[in-house]
Structure 1
Amino acid sequence: MNVGFIGTGTMGSLLIEALIASGALSPTQIAVSNRTFAKAQALAIRYSGMKAEFTNAAAACGCDIVFLCVKPLEFKKAVDDIKPVIRPDQIVVSITSPVLISHLEGELDCKIAKVIPSITNHVWSGASLCIYGQSVDEDDKTLLEDLLSHISQPLRIDESFTRIVSDLSSCGPAFISFLLEQFVDAAVEETGIGREEALRVASAMLLGTGLLLTEGGMTPAEVQERVAVPGGITAKALNMLRRETDGVFNQLIRTTHDKFKEDLAKVSSAFIGEEVNGQ
């Protein structure tokens, strides 16, 4: 299997590096291109055998799967670049949430999918959210999900839930890391504990909590119930948190959805010449 990556920015390079490190792909199976060729070339130098191509068309040509890892407003140009060389049996995969399956199906005569990766894939963990176009059959889905399973848990979702599942899976690590950082900062400020020590303890706690919620089979409510003895220290602190954070995550979701709708309108304008309100 040969795989092309158009765009070697943060998420493109993360996917490439994780797939190589996990053994899912060898560098010789990968072709890359980037708006700045030197970045693609640097990656190819790092991984001997990888092909750095000057054009997006060259990176896509002859590949079984082509990942489009570019920013929303760069998508139309990338699609126009590869359109002349794409074959019907190839799978083109967008990793950008505001780019709809219908946008790509309207431009490319091939099989279309969308995958929302996560930074957690860097350590072969977390989910890869998979959305498929009409021409993608079960064998195609299995091929793509087998590849992604080396670095994640592939989960099939409906495109109408793209934004919210992206909030939970892809943006979530940033949100949870922010909260953990605030927790550690407060611990240092209030008690004088060393930052490295506090972060080490808090990070181990976060890992353990994740395992309780997955392998341990507990729900968030069950974790809280098991830790918070009625009338105890944790229970009192949880009551304070409930009061102080009431509605904050509703606001967070509204914020991400508003930005998504803004980006979707711009992408739709680029592809079909008109703005849409989202879905």
Structure 2
Amino acid sequence: MKIGVIGTGNMGTILISSFIDSCAVKPSQLIIINRTSKKAHSLKKQYKGIQVAQNAEEIIRNSEIIFICVKPHEYFPLLKSIRNELKEDQLVVSITSPIQVRELETFVSCDVARAIPSITNRALSGASLVTFSNRCSEVNKEKLMYLMSQISTPIETEEEVTRVSSDLASCGPAFLSYLIKKFIDGAVSETEISREQATILTTEMLIGMGKLLEKDYFSLETLQKKVTVKGGVTGEGLKVLENETGDMFNHVIQSTHRKFDEDRKGIKTQFKEETRQN
């Protein structure tokens, strides 16, 4: 299986590195390109055997599956430049939520899917969100699900819940990292513990908590109950969290959806213009 990757920014690099580290593909099975060629050549140095293409057309000619890892507003100009090179049995995979698979499906003649990765996939863990177009062949579905299953737990996701699913699976690590950092900041500010020690303790706690959940010893709810002793210290801390977080995460979801709606508006306009010209 020959895989092309257009765009080697954060998510493109995570996909490339994770596919190789998981042994899902060999470096020689990957052909990549980036607007800034230095990034692509850096990956080639890291993973001997990766091919760096001269242009996007070369990617298309030499790939069965093409991952498009560029910014949302760059999708349709890119697809416009390569659409005539695409063959019906190829699979184009988008990694961004604002562009719907049904829009891509009407713009190109080949199979289309979306696979939204998470930074957790770099550790060959966490979820990825997968959506297939109506005409996507079973062969290409199996190929994509295989690739994503080697680096994540792929979850088929409907368009209607893609944004909130991405909030949880992809944005979640950033949101929780922020809260955890604030937790450490509070400990350092209010006590004599060093930041280094507080960070080590918190990091080890998170790793251990993840393993408890992974091994299904506890759910999030039962884990909280097990740690909380009636009248104890943990309960007092939880009271503060209950009072002070309030609707905080409702507001987080509202904010991400507002930005998503803005992006969707721009994509719809661009899609209509590109479709009208063709």
Q: Does 1:167 align with 2:167?
A: yes
Kept after mapping to 2: 8 A contact 1:37/1:54 = no
Query: Structure 2: which amino acid aligns with 1:11?
Result: M
Query: Structure 2: which amino acid aligns with 1:267?
Result: I
- Compute the displacement of 1:138 (Å): 3.0
TM-score (norm 1): 0.94
- Compute the displacement of 1:167 (Å): 0.3
Kept after mapping to 2: 8 A contact 1:101/1:113 = yes
- Compute the displacement of 1:150 (Å): 1.4
Query: Structure 2: which amino acid aligns with 1:247?
Result: D
- Compute the displacement of 1:46 (Å): 2.7
* 1:171-182 correspondence runs (5 A): 171-182=171-182
Residue in 2 that maps onto 1:26: 26
In structure 2, C-alpha distance between the alignment counterparts of 1:192 and 1:85, rounded to whole Å: 64
In structure 2, C-alpha distance between the alignment counterparts of 1:3 and 1:117, rounded to whole Å: 16
In structure 2, C-alpha distance between the alignment counterparts of 1:221 and 1:239, rounded to whole Å: 16
Total equivalences in the alignment: 274
TM-score (norm 2): 0.95
Residue in 1 that maps onto 2:61: 61
Residue in 2 that maps onto 1:145: 145
SS at match of 1:237: helix
The one-character-per-residue Cα deviations of 1:70-115 (angstroms, maximum 9, x if unpaired) are 0111111221122121111011100011011122111110110001
Kept after mapping to 2: 8 A contact 1:5/1:60 = no
- Compute the displacement of 1:248 (Å): 0.2
Query: Structure 2: which amino acid aligns with 1:77?
Result: P
SS at match of 1:70: coil
Residue in 2 that maps onto 1:208: 208
Residue in 2 that maps onto 1:110: 110
- Compute the displacement of 1:217 (Å): 4.7
- Compute the displacement of 1:219 (Å): 2.3
- Compute the displacement of 1:237 (Å): 1.0
Residue in 2 that maps onto 1:52: 52
Query: Structure 1: which amino acid aligns with 2:4?
Result: G
Q: Does 1:101 align with 2:101?
A: yes
In structure 2, C-alpha distance between the alignment counterparts of 1:62 and 1:87, rounded to whole Å: 11
**In angstroms, what is the RMSD of aligned CA positions?**
1.4
In structure 1, C-alpha distance between the alignment counterparts of 2:140 and 2:215, rounded to whole Å: 29
- Compute the displacement of 1:62 (Å): 3.0
The one-character-per-residue Cα deviations of 1:31-85 (angstroms, maximum 9, x if unpaired) are 1111122322332233222111121121122311100000111111221122121
In structure 1, C-alpha distance between the alignment counterparts of 2:158 and 2:217, rounded to whole Å: 25
Residue in 2 that maps onto 1:190: 190
In structure 2, C-alpha distance between the alignment counterparts of 1:251 and 1:141, rounded to whole Å: 36
Residue in 1 that maps onto 2:244: 244
- Compute the displacement of 1:164 (Å): 0.4
- Compute the displacement of 1:208 (Å): 1.8
- Compute the displacement of 1:220 (Å): 1.7
Residue in 1 that maps onto 2:80: 80
In structure 2, C-alpha distance between the alignment counterparts of 1:207 and 1:141, rounded to whole Å: 33
Q: 33-42 or 261-270, which moves further after superposition?
A: 33-42
Q: Does 1:270 align with 2:275?
A: no
Among the aligned pairs, what percent are the same residue? 42
Q: 190-199 or 39-48, which moves further after superposition?
A: 39-48
Q: Does 1:134 align with 2:138?
A: no
SS at match of 2:239: helix
Q: Does 1:13 align with 2:16?
A: no
List runs of 5+ in structure 2 lacking aligned partners: none
Q: 205-214 or 147-156, which moves further after superposition?
A: 205-214
Q: 252-261 or 96-105, which moves further after superposition?
A: 96-105
CA distance 1:235–1:100, shift in 2 (3 Å):
same
In structure 1, C-alpha distance between the alignment counterparts of 2:265 and 2:57, rounded to whole Å: 26
In structure 1, C-alpha distance between the alignment counterparts of 2:234 and 2:95, rounded to whole Å: 40
Kept after mapping to 2: 8 A contact 1:64/1:91 = yes
SS at match of 2:48: coil
List runs of 5+ in structure 1 lacking aligned partners: 275-279
Residue in 1 that maps onto 2:119: 119
In structure 1, C-alpha distance between the alignment counterparts of 2:200 and 2:193, rounded to whole Å: 12
In structure 2, C-alpha distance between the alignment counterparts of 1:160 and 1:261, rounded to whole Å: 12
In structure 1, C-alpha distance between the alignment counterparts of 2:54 and 2:146, rounded to whole Å: 29
